[in-house]
Chains A and B, each alone.
Chain A
Amino acid sequence: LKKKIIIISCLLLLGGCYDRSEIEERAFVIATGIDKGETPDQIIVTFQIANPQAGVEKGPGKDEEPAEIITFPAPDFLTAKDLANSSVARKITFSHMGVFVVSEELARTDTFLQTLKSSIRERELRRHTYLIVSREKASDYIRGIDPKLETRPHKFYDLMSGRWRDTGLVPHSRLHEYFLRSETNMDSFLSIYATNENFEKKYIAEDEYLPGEIELYGGNPTQMIGSAVFKNGIMIGSLNGEETRMTLSLRPKAEAEIMLVTFPDPLDTGYKLSIRFIKQERTKIMFNKDKNPLQINVNVPINLDILAVPSGVDYITDIEKQKLLKEYLTELIEDKLIELVERTQDEFEINPFNWSSQFRREFITLDQLDAFNWRQSYPNADVKITVDLSISGFGKSLQPPPIEKIKEGKRG
């Protein structure tokens, strides 16, 4: 009996050792890039592999590089794993991959959906890996990232992709959303748009940039701003930072809740107002599907905090001026939103605001929904947008300092 117990307990306890894996034997890929290959059935794969020994205070790995980056051609993403082992001694593991970078060139090819689809079959790949479209080659993009504050590259990716929630300058784009949207295929999917290269620099406002256009000196060359627009799983265009923010605020579910924006001062056009833009309530979208063309009424509730008034106009205690400001901003935002909607109708012919998620509520069965054909009705739809603006706060100070007086040398 004793023997039996020993044998059975060995079977139970050691059974788990078949798939054992030692951390020492693993190479953790933290970023993957894919580029278009020379032939259509080939892709160029780039793996950034973390070095856990780098940056520790003591020990042999103190001065080692934080990551190893390799690039090679492969027939698809799955077989690339084995091919990488021809030069990396450790077993390639994807379970901690943070970002998946795709070059714009590849994202715009017809076969992109299939290329990415095959990747999800990889067991270790996680659906909440962020998807980034780079303006240059993905291999160059990954090599170019050089965070000065973070020793380890994976932390940079973790933190950077999480920033969307605060700024709204880039969308929340993970492989999960990509697959979901491209299969339901009613609305478009937006992906983070990024680059390390310099494109034509310009100074506009704080958010009307595409990646590579911000005049940024020093630090990490990378710029993530704006979004790549996907239709039928393939990239068709891009939105800049401001358009991305507006897109997020037009979506039914509040995504980026608080962002800092500037608007021109209505009474003194030489200046700009700094405003905290708060959108926590749902955008209400109403449809009138009996009308032809389809009528869509959108109501966007927005709260604003006026943070800085450089012109010195007193919008805070002067109720008349406050009312004027409110009307001015309402109209301004409405105009900007409608302009964006028209652009998506004409240029993209697809809706990036997830309105279909509300539209499907209008129907009882799937057949009715399919018969209506949302994709074809949207570009011709008659969209009306109303903004419900309320000014809820004025930052930390109640009144602007009397700048004129101070300039004249008097007491403020």
Chain B
Amino acid sequence: VKISDGKIGTREFVSLIALTIGAKISDITPNLLIPHGKVASWLIPIISTILIIGPFLLLIIVLKKYETKNLIEVIYITAGKYVGFLIAFILFIIMFSTTTLNSRGYVEIVASMFYQETPHSLIYLLILGGAYFIANRGLEAIGRTAWLALPYIKLSLLIYIILIWKEVHFDFLFPILGPGLKDLVVASTKQSTILGEFFLLAILFPLVRKTKDYTLGSYIGLGIAVIELSFFLALYLMVFDYPHVERLGYPFHHIARILSLGEFISNLEGIFLTFWVITGVIRFGIMLYLTAMYFSFMLKIKEFEPLLLPLTTLIFILGLLPENVATTMFVFRSEFLIQGGAPVFLFLPVILWVLSLRKKENAL
């Protein structure tokens, strides 16, 4: 019998990454990528992965040096009190707004695709309530929940793929490079924030049992998430063809509405709604927990669990402020968060690495 140490292992960490990033196939993320990548949108996650792998390796080097410290503590050590606070603050803002905007995005999807009459605030309350319930149990419970739910969620996606397969046309992926390689690389750089959670999860580094667990978990988790993102983007393109797919909000749910088992068993989207909501609630549970962690370590507060409820409430109130999906997603998330966040994730590890080198020289 293992004694609970509040830490998680490889498989839990894999589940955390696969759920937080993988879940993006079913929200509005495809709609933000497809205008840039056009028929080759499915290449964007792959190119983005290649771009972030270097910075990520640097980040691991830095984190390994300060084994027991988490990302924010490392930032304070290497960058000093003031600059450190600034960087930590930027990361917190990114974390906080990601959680707020994405959770609000979920509400929009439920409201426009499924429950038209239910007030937005009630849907939001239920999603965030569930997420808070999970986050409140602590990291171990979150990890275990994610690990438990992961196989069922992926199985439901597999069934989804099998059912839609008869509508798939491979021809729709051509011309293979879409807008051209140069545009694709530019788009992938700008949109590399779609894998941003991968960096944000680095704050859990000391809470994963071994360094090896962390690196292995990262690679497997990222692998699963990227394959999933790419595959589903390709699937949307193969079913709807560009440019029609660009105009469909939430292609995941549009496909769920087409699915049928034979001629007579149709209208199956309710089944997929269930799995999708479970994914969402776990995803936001993880995000809430991370937000609280960033907040408390930024302000050097030792206990962060009591902060969960006030932060959740704040997210709930702020999340209800934007008027509609256009403002939340296309203005805030696309222009501010995704394109503004990309340089942070790409350059922060490099800066930290350089700073940590300097630190070592000073120590000598």
Contact at A126–B174, with CB atoms within 8 Å?
no
Which positions in A face B, CB cutoff 8 Å? 8, 11-12, 15-16, 18-19, 95-96, 123, 126-128, 158, 162, 176, 179-180, 183-184, 252-253, 357-358, 360-361, 363-369
Q: What is the CA–CA distance of A184 and B238 in the complex, to the nearest angstrom?
A: 13
Contact at B115–A366, with CB atoms within 8 Å?
no
Contacts of A363 in B (CB 8 A): 174-175
Contacts of B254 in A (CB 8 A): 127
Q: B240 — nearest CB in chain A belongs to which residue?
A: A180
Q: How many residues on B have C-beta within 8 angstroms of the other chain's C-beta atoms? A: 40
Find A18's partner among B122, B179, B257 (CB 8 Å cutoff).
B122
Contacts of B112 in A (CB 8 A): 123
Contacts of A253 in B (CB 8 A): 169
Listed A/B pairs (16) with beta-carbon separation below 8 Å: A15-B126, A16-B115, A18-B117, A19-B115, A123-B112, A123-B113, A126-B266, A158-B264, A180-B241, A183-B247, A184-B241, A364-B175, A365-B179, A365-B180, A366-B178, A367-B180
Q: What is the CA–CA distance of A8 and B119 in the complex, to the nearest angstrom?
A: 17
Q: What is the CA–CA distance of A162 and B260 in the complex, to the nearest angstrom?
A: 14
Contacts of B177 in A (CB 8 A): 364-365
How far apart are B133's CB and chain A's nearest CB, in angstroms? 9
Contact with A along B25-56 (1 / 0, CB 8 A): 00000000000001100000000000000000
Contact at B258–A183, with CB atoms within 8 Å?
no
Q: What is the CA–CA distance of A402 and B240 in the complex, to the nearest angstrom?
A: 56
Contacts of A358 in B (CB 8 A): 171
10 closest Cβ pairs, A-B complex: A357-B171, A18-B118, A363-B175, A183-B244, A19-B115, A360-B174, A365-B180, A361-B174, A19-B117, A364-B177
Taking A18-B118, A365-B179 as known contacts, 19 extra A-B pairs with beta carbons closer than 8 A to each other, sorted by chain A number, are A11-B126, A15-B122, A15-B123, A18-B117, A18-B122, A19-B114, A19-B118, A95-B267, A128-B260, A128-B266, A179-B244, A180-B241, A184-B243, A357-B171, A363-B175, A364-B177, A365-B175, A365-B180, A366-B39
Does B90 interact with chain A (Cβ within 8 Å)? no
How far apart are A126's CB and chain B's nearest CB, in angstroms? 6
How far apart are B164's CB and chain A's nearest CB, in angstroms? 12
Contacts of B118 in A (CB 8 A): 15, 18-19
Q: B39 — nearest CB in chain A belongs to which residue?
A: A366
Q: B259 — nearest CB in chain A belongs to which residue?
A: A128
Contacts of A123 in B (CB 8 A): 112-113, 116
Does B155 interact with chain A (Cβ within 8 Å)? no
Does B361 interact with chain A (Cβ within 8 Å)? no
Q: A360 — nearest CB in chain B belongs to which residue?
A: B174
Which positions in B face A, CB cutoff 8 Å? 38-39, 112-119, 122-123, 125-126, 129, 167, 169, 171-172, 174-180, 240-244, 247, 254, 257-258, 260, 263-264, 266-267
Contact at A368–B175, with CB atoms within 8 Å?
yes
Q: A127 — nearest CB in chain B belongs to which residue?
A: B258
Q: What is the CA–CA distance of A176 and B257 in the complex, to the nearest angstrom?
A: 11
How far apart are A302's CB and chain B's nearest CB, in angstroms? 22
Q: What is the CA–CA distance of A183 and B237 in the complex, to the nearest angstrom?
A: 13
Contact at B116–A366, with CB atoms within 8 Å?
no
How far apart are A180's CB and chain B's nearest CB, in angstroms? 5
Contacts of B176 in A (CB 8 A): 364
Q: What is the CA–CA distance of A19 and B240 in the complex, to the nearest angstrom?
A: 29
How far apart are A27's CB and chain B's nearest CB, in angstroms? 17
How far apart are A327's CB and chain B's nearest CB, in angstroms? 33
Q: What is the CA–CA distance of A321 and B260 in the complex, to the nearest angstrom?
A: 48
Contacts of A127 in B (CB 8 A): 254, 257-258
**A15-B118, A127-B258 as given contacts; A366 in contact with B263, CB under 8 Å:** no
Q: A12 — nearest CB in chain B belongs to which residue?
A: B126
How far apart are A410's CB and chain B's nearest CB, in angstroms? 51
Contacts of A360 in B (CB 8 A): 171, 174-175
Contacts of B180 in A (CB 8 A): 365-367
Contact at B260–A367, with CB atoms within 8 Å?
no
Contacts of B115 in A (CB 8 A): 16, 18-19
Q: What is the CA–CA distance of A184 and B245 in the complex, to the nearest angstrom?
A: 10
- Interface core residue of B114, B119, B257 (most chain A CB under 10 Å): B257
How far apart are B147's CB and chain A's nearest CB, in angstroms? 24
**A18-B115, A253-B169 as given contacts; A184 in contact with B175, CB under 8 Å:** no
Contact at B263–A357, with CB atoms within 8 Å?
no
How far apart are B328's CB and chain A's nearest CB, in angstroms? 20
How far apart are B160's CB and chain A's nearest CB, in angstroms? 16
Q: What is the CA–CA distance of A49 and B115 in the complex, to the nearest angstrom?
A: 23
Q: What is the CA–CA distance of A123 and B116 in the complex, to the nearest angstrom?
A: 9
Q: What is the CA–CA distance of A361 and B264 in the complex, to the nearest angstrom?
A: 36
Q: B181 — nearest CB in chain A belongs to which residue?
A: A365
- Interface core residue of A11, A162, A364 (most chain B CB under 10 Å): A364
How far apart are B138's CB and chain A's nearest CB, in angstroms? 20
Contacts of B241 in A (CB 8 A): 180, 183-184
How far apart are A330's CB and chain B's nearest CB, in angstroms? 28
Q: What is the CA–CA distance of A184 and B267 in the complex, to the nearest angstrom?
A: 27
Contacts of A162 in B (CB 8 A): 263
Contact at B179–A19, with CB atoms within 8 Å?
no
Contacts of A158 in B (CB 8 A): 263-264
Q: B184 — nearest CB in chain A belongs to which residue?
A: A365
Q: What is the CA–CA distance of A364 and B242 in the complex, to the nearest angstrom?
A: 15
Q: What is the CA–CA distance of A361 and B118 in the complex, to the nearest angstrom?
A: 46
Q: B257 — nearest CB in chain A belongs to which residue?
A: A126
Contact at B244–A367, with CB atoms within 8 Å?
no
Q: What is the CA–CA distance of A127 and B117 in the complex, to the nearest angstrom?
A: 22
Contacts of A369 in B (CB 8 A): 175
How far apart are A284's CB and chain B's nearest CB, in angstroms? 13
Q: What is the CA–CA distance of A127 and B126 in the complex, to the nearest angstrom?
A: 30
How far apart are B71's CB and chain A's nearest CB, in angstroms? 35
Contacts of A19 in B (CB 8 A): 114-118
Contacts of B39 in A (CB 8 A): 366
How far apart are A103's CB and chain B's nearest CB, in angstroms? 25
